[in-house]
Structure 1
Amino acid sequence: MDEAFVVLKSFKNDCCELDLNSYSSLIDGLFRVKRFKEGHDMYRRMIEAYIMPDVVLYTIVIRGLCDEGRVHDAFKMIKEMSDRNLVPDTQAYNTLIKGFYDAGLLDEARSLKLEISGVGEFPDASTYTILISGMCRYGLVGDAENIFNEMEKCGCVPSVVTFNALIDGLCKLGELQKAHLLFYKMEIGRNPSLFLRLTQGSDRVVDSGSLQTLVTKLCESGSTLKAYKLLNQLADTVIVPTITTYNILINGLCKAGILDGAFKLFKELQLKGNSPDSVTYGTLINGLQSVGREDDAFMLLEEMVGNGCKPTPAIYKTLMKWSCRRKKTFAAFNLWLKYLKSLPKRNEKVINMVENYLQNGEIERPVRLLLDMDIKLQDLDSAPYTIWLIGFCQGRKTNEALMLLSILKDYNINLTPPSCVILISTLSREGKLNLAVEVFLYALEKGFILKPRICNNLIKSLLRSRFVTDDVFALMEKMGSCGYDLDSYLDDGTRFLLNNLRRRQEMQNVLVK
């Protein structure tokens, strides 16, 4: 400023007179460096020189007065502008409102906004940002949220400064979930231009149904990211995605391994007023399972229940399988009991007895109690029992697996192909080949065509253990009669062992003769 006045002196020496713009620049500079008295003196000299201020200079003076703490004098400047037939613009009002907030006069600031809402284009995005920042500064975050919602309804687009102010306020209040949701909303952004282009193309997006069709097509063709961008770029247009559309895209992102994108979309649909359904949660839980994020999956289950969304049996079964793979079979039992408790007509006393038995390490009594209850209610689901069976095998608890197998046979509950495979593998590994053959024969009777690997491993185990030769060939003959193509099923190692067996048989026959 001192250098500016040196230049000003040289101008005067050259007989150059100051105009309105020159005065405005000097007064603005003086106020910015807190030289308020000099600024006001210069403003008075300008008036005495019959140079009338415009809206810009009035706004500068209003800001200077507010910075001094003289907000009521600043408010008088608005009236003075009207007396001079000048219409205050939004920047003048915004400057005064900010001054009120800085002075702690919140009610006056809000009253001013209400009084002049009908003037020109007021309020604008800056006005709302000032209001939100002021509210958050004084801890009135709830009021700030209401103003933010009002802002969007009025068609004002929040700037990054608006988001920053409200996110900061929410964080300081400890509302981290709300802050995260707001952050995702800010990050997603708005770009309606793609909507205009799409409506002119072959894939016309004209309503929610056509949007769902296009998202499905893109996901099925592997263009999941394009579908994701499409949904983001259609934000705040007249096309409102349904929860089914969101679920399709979330599923596509999970299958593509883009879990972060799936969760962003999950947060966005909540911001848009949609409530996630059981399909949404189930899809995300499956996605988390595929990348081994066990803790996040169980947290999501708790959130789902807390939000009043009832988990489906499929969700519980997914988590049960996961627990079993981590050798937490009893945790899988407890998950299913939690599901049963949420069902009507279930005998809670029986379920509590089952829990007590399980806590004591018992298997037979609790499983039979559950099966009796299911059969009595005509609501038998064999899936959890086979999941437990597989879990015992994965946890190397073969005796418990065989006990459960025996119970399932008593109740005529069919095993699944995966449970047969893991039972055969477990029993073969532990040398219980007679039992492994029994399970394999059961699979043949049920018409299961097991993969070559499991068949070859069993036959090799039998041959290496010097199993009765006739039994091995009888088993292979049975496989052939049940539709197995032994020429393509048997690998080189199995053929080698079989050829050795046949040569030994031929030599024994020769010796006998």
Structure 2
Amino acid sequence: MLEQSDILPDIVLYTIMIRGCSEAGRFEDAFSFLNEMKEKGFVPDTFCYNTLLKALCDVGNLDGARSLRSEMLLNNVVLDSTTHTIMIFGLCNKGLLDEAIQVFDEMEKVDCHPTVMTYNTLIHGLYRARRLEEARMLFYKMEMGNNPSLFLRLTLGANQVRDSENLQKLVDNMCQSGQVMKAYKLLQGIINSGVVPDVVTYNTLIKGLCKVRNLDGALRLFKELQLKGLSPDEITYGTLIDRLLKAHRESDAMMLFHNILQSGGTPSSSIYNSMMRSLCRMKKLSQAIDLWLDHLPRKYNLSAEDEVIANARKQFEHASLDEAVRELIKVDQQYGSVNSTPYTIWLIGLCQARRIDDALKIFRTLEEFGIDVTPACCALLTKYLCWERNLNAAVDIMLYTLSKRFIMSRHVGNRLLRSLCIRHRRKDAQALAWRMHLVGYDMDAYLREPTKDLLYSQ
């Protein structure tokens, strides 16, 4: 193939071609290059095989990956830590955790030490499969390295193993009581890796603990991470703050938020959004708005005394919400970063505080600038407008959702149609129902029986 181009191929060029074909999903061509390479007397090295192995695992072709790995063993090619990590990654992605653990255990037999990436991959897979105890044990193995007695103190209890003599006694007791396999697994678990966990490892563990609602354990790991000299990143803070807020532990979340600021960091927009949602839920809308206004100078590298931000703050203080939002959107447009999220959070907060007129003003402003309002916002605003008997505005919101091809929640849509009928506007309700049908609503399934009776009964 390559000779036709008058190019003298070598192992590097073949590897490049194999990698290119593999990444493009052209596996037949990749294997053709591999076979041609071997026919020309070149011996594929570990890097070459790993390139093809990774591509197979990335697309979930584990049979091909297993076959290639067997070929490496047959040809006496060294399986390095990258080879094993790639296989573990592919197996974990398919949920084949037992086989992934087997590959991990084989590394020790061939004197191949797992890297931090190997540990991270397997720990992440174990947490995804909710095999939390095994993930925790693996983490401690990784962290303790050459200190098995310390590893055992952490995993079995503070007073059970203090030195090698106690370790021997513990194993003897297990064997005498018939727990031979438990003793074997215990000793097998103490590996001589010397690998130190990184922030990715901690993030995986923190996320896993948060998923099972062990927030105190996640916070302990967060503190331990810092004691180890590692710096929490955006994922660390984002995961913890989001979960703490969902558990209504606002003070702990706020502590972490201030921790970011005090360390000279800048919280991400997603963290600000989570904080604002929580404040709005607690009816603290003004604090949510102040939080965002404090963020904007950092986001756009503006002066803390920027005139536009200062004017927007004054307008909020004087209850000119729509004008303030209008000014902030112009700033977003100026810096090419228009995002509806903060404004829709405030809109929902206004609805929750029963400030429906102000919420409607923000909706109109977003509509004016062509910024999409989320279906959830539209549903909530429509519901409250029906309660306020502002049916004209509620119909406008419904028509907006139809123009955007949003599907209004069944509960709110039925409420609006019933409200129109009850207020002696059956023709308007019927016209609206027909327009809903035209954009794809299955009205027979969507309408509830009481709504149908009001719409169509004589």
**By the TM > 0.5 criterion, same fold?**
yes
* Cα distance, 1:306 vs structure 2: 0.9
Greater relative contact order (Cα < 8 A, sep 6+): 2
Contact map agreement 2:210 2:218 (CA 8 A) in 1: yes
One-letter amino acid of the counterpart of residue 283, structure 1: T
Instruction: Measure, in 2, the Cα distance between the counterparts of 1:202 and 1:463.
Output: 72
Q: Which residue of 1 aligns with 2:220?
A: 264
* Cα distance, 1:283 vs structure 2: 0.7
Instruction: Measure, in 1, the Cα distance between the counterparts of 2:431 and 2:107.
Output: 63
Show the 5 A alignment for 1:10-409: 199-200=104-105, 206-237=114-145, 238-346=194-302, 348-409=306-367
Instruction: Measure, in 2, the Cα distance between the counterparts of 1:409 and 1:206.
Output: 55
Contact map agreement 2:119 2:142 (CA 8 A) in 1: no
TM-score (norm 2): 0.62
Judge which range, 384-393 or 452-461, deviates more: 452-461
One-letter amino acid of the counterpart of residue 308, structure 1: G
Instruction: Measure, in 1, the Cα distance between the counterparts of 2:273 and 2:451.
Output: 41
Q: Which has the larger radius of gyration?
A: 1
Matched residue SS, 2:144: coil
The correspondence for 2:452, drawn from 498, 504, 510, is 498
* Closer, same or farther: CA 198–442 of 1 in aligned 2, 3 Å: same
Instruction: Measure, in 1, the Cα distance between the counterparts of 2:385 and 2:137.
Output: 51
Matched residue SS, 1:368: helix
1:461 has 2:366 as partner: no
* Cα distance, 1:311 vs structure 2: 0.6
Contact map agreement 2:285 2:350 (CA 8 A) in 1: yes
Instruction: Measure, in 1, the Cα distance between the counterparts of 2:255 and 2:129.
Output: 32
One-letter amino acid of the counterpart of residue 123, structure 2: V
Contact map agreement 2:414 2:451 (CA 8 A) in 1: no
Contact map agreement 2:277 2:345 (CA 8 A) in 1: yes
TM-score (norm 1): 0.56
Q: Which residue of 2 aligns with 1:152?
A: none
Contact map agreement 2:202 2:221 (CA 8 A) in 1: yes
* Cα distance, 1:287 vs structure 2: 0.8
* Cα distance, 1:500 vs structure 2: 5.0
Matched residue SS, 1:234: helix
* Cα distance, 1:255 vs structure 2: 2.1
What RMSD in Å do the two structures reach over aligned CA positions? 2.4
* Cα distance, 1:221 vs structure 2: 1.6
Matched residue SS, 2:279: helix
One-letter amino acid of the counterpart of residue 286, structure 1: D
Matched residue SS, 1:235: helix
Matched residue SS, 1:244: helix
One-letter amino acid of the counterpart of residue 323, structure 2: R
Matched residue SS, 1:484: coil
Contact map agreement 1:199 1:205 (CA 8 A) in 2: no
Q: Which residue of 1 aligns with 2:428?
A: 471
Judge which range, 457-466 or 277-286, deviates more: 457-466
1:450 has 2:355 as partner: no
* Cα distance, 1:197 vs structure 2: 9.7
* Cα distance, 1:243 vs structure 2: 1.4
Superposed CA deviations along residues 450-491 of structure 1, whole A, max 9, x for unmatched, are 332222222232333332x22212222222222222232223
Contact map agreement 2:119 2:138 (CA 8 A) in 1: no
One-letter amino acid of the counterpart of residue 306, structure 1: Q
* Cα distance, 1:225 vs structure 2: 4.4
Contact map agreement 1:425 1:454 (CA 8 A) in 2: yes
Instruction: Measure, in 1, the Cα distance between the counterparts of 2:131 and 2:416.
Output: 43
One-letter amino acid of the counterpart of residue 216, structure 2: D
One-letter amino acid of the counterpart of residue 456, structure 2: R
Contact map agreement 1:205 1:211 (CA 8 A) in 2: no
Point out where structure 1 has 5 or more consecutive residues left out of the alignment.
Answer: 1-195, 505-513
One-letter amino acid of the counterpart of residue 503, structure 1: S
Q: Which residue of 2 aligns with 1:413?
A: 371
Instruction: Measure, in 1, the Cα distance between the counterparts of 2:315 and 2:118.
Output: 54
Aligned residue-pair number: 305
Superposed CA deviations along residues 85-110 of structure 1, whole A, max 9, x for unmatched, are xxxxxxxxxxxxxxxxxxxxxxxxxx
One-letter amino acid of the counterpart of residue 359, structure 2: A
Superposed CA deviations along residues 215-247 of structure 1, whole A, max 9, x for unmatched, are 221222223344234313432211222212221
* Closer, same or farther: CA 502–295 of 1 in aligned 2, 3 Å: same
One-letter amino acid of the counterpart of residue 404, structure 2: K
* Closer, same or farther: CA 230–406 of 1 in aligned 2, 3 Å: same
Instruction: Measure, in 2, the Cα distance between the counterparts of 1:374 and 1:263.
Output: 35
Percent same amino acid among aligned pairs? 37
Q: Which residue of 2 aligns with 1:72?
A: none
* Closer, same or farther: CA 453–224 of 1 in aligned 2, 3 Å: farther
* Closer, same or farther: CA 400–246 of 1 in aligned 2, 3 Å: same
* Closer, same or farther: CA 342–489 of 1 in aligned 2, 3 Å: same
Q: Which residue of 2 aligns with 1:188?
A: none
* Closer, same or farther: CA 298–477 of 1 in aligned 2, 3 Å: same
Superposed CA deviations along residues 340-399 of structure 1, whole A, max 9, x for unmatched, are 121344361221222233233332332222122222222222211111111111110011
One-letter amino acid of the counterpart of residue 502, structure 1: Y
* Closer, same or farther: CA 226–474 of 1 in aligned 2, 3 Å: farther
Contact map agreement 1:206 1:239 (CA 8 A) in 2: yes
One-letter amino acid of the counterpart of residue 470, structure 1: K
Contact map agreement 1:392 1:398 (CA 8 A) in 2: yes
1:486 has 2:443 as partner: yes
* Closer, same or farther: CA 344–435 of 1 in aligned 2, 3 Å: closer
Instruction: Measure, in 1, the Cα distance between the counterparts of 2:454 and 2:341.
Output: 42
